[in-house]
């Protein structure tokens, strides 16, 4: 297991699963979380030979930014970001100490702000909220390579 860049992350490879995680405490760490995601996906492509599209690189960083921002805003203490590549997608999970599930608002183009989870749900293949023994974990999966027969989120048209 080697040290990954940003947020004190740890990277590991177990079988076909490649993962990295990092703990973040302050608002300045949101940029470090994005850096960890970018470095991880660059390594997934360069070291492990898996295709990572420019779209996937951008979407994962956006999702990381939104989920870590929410964790820092609504939960006391640190949050834990985990990125895990398996089966052609990267699962982005953020754990925080607040057990209350997020309020998922209906889309409203007139609302200013509070669109983070809308964005996460729109760009991901999946979205889930799990209560943990302490706190909760929010997860989504982003396809690594563009699907020429599908839409931007990798779903079939």
Residue 103 lies in a domain: yes
Tokens coding 88 = 């052609």
Residue 150 lies in a domain: no
Residue 28 domain boundaries: 2-143
CATH code of residue 62? 3.30.565.10
pLDDT at 106: 78
Residue 149 lies in a domain: no
Residue 148 lies in a domain: no
Residue 153 lies in a domain: no
Query: Rounded distance, CA 8 to CA 33, Å?
Result: 10
Number of domains in the chain: 1
Residue 155 lies in a domain: no
Contact (Cβ atoms closer than 8 angstroms) between residue 88 and residue 144? yes
Q: What is the pLDDT of residues 19-37, one digit of tens each?
A: 999 999 877 789 999 999 9
pLDDT at 150: 45
Low-confidence ranges of the chain (pLDDT < 70): 1-15, 147-157
Give residues with Cβ within 8 angstroms of 78, minimum separation 6: 23, 24, 25, 97
Place of tokens 């390579």: 145
């Amino acid at each position: 297991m080697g040290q990954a860049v940003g947020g004190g992350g740890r990277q590991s490879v177990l079988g076909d699963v490649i993962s990295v995680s990092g703990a973040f405490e302050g608002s300045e760490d949101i940029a470090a979380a994005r850096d960890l995601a970018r470095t991880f996906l660059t390594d997934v492509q360069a070291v492990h030979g898996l295709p990572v599209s420019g779209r996937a690189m951008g979407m994962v960083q956006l999702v990381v930014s939104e989920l870590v921002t929410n964790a820092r805003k609504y939960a006391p203490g640190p949050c834990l970001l985990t990125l895990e590549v398996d089966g052609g997608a990267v699962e982005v999970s953020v754990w925080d100490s607040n057990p209350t599930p997020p309020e998922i608002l209906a889309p409203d183009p007139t609302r200013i702000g509070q669109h983070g989870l809308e964005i996460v749900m729109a760009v991901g293949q999946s979205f889930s909220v799990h209560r943990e023994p302490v706190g909760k974990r929010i997860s989504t999966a982003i396809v690594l390579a563009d699907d020429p027969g599908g839409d931007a989120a990798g779903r079939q048209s």
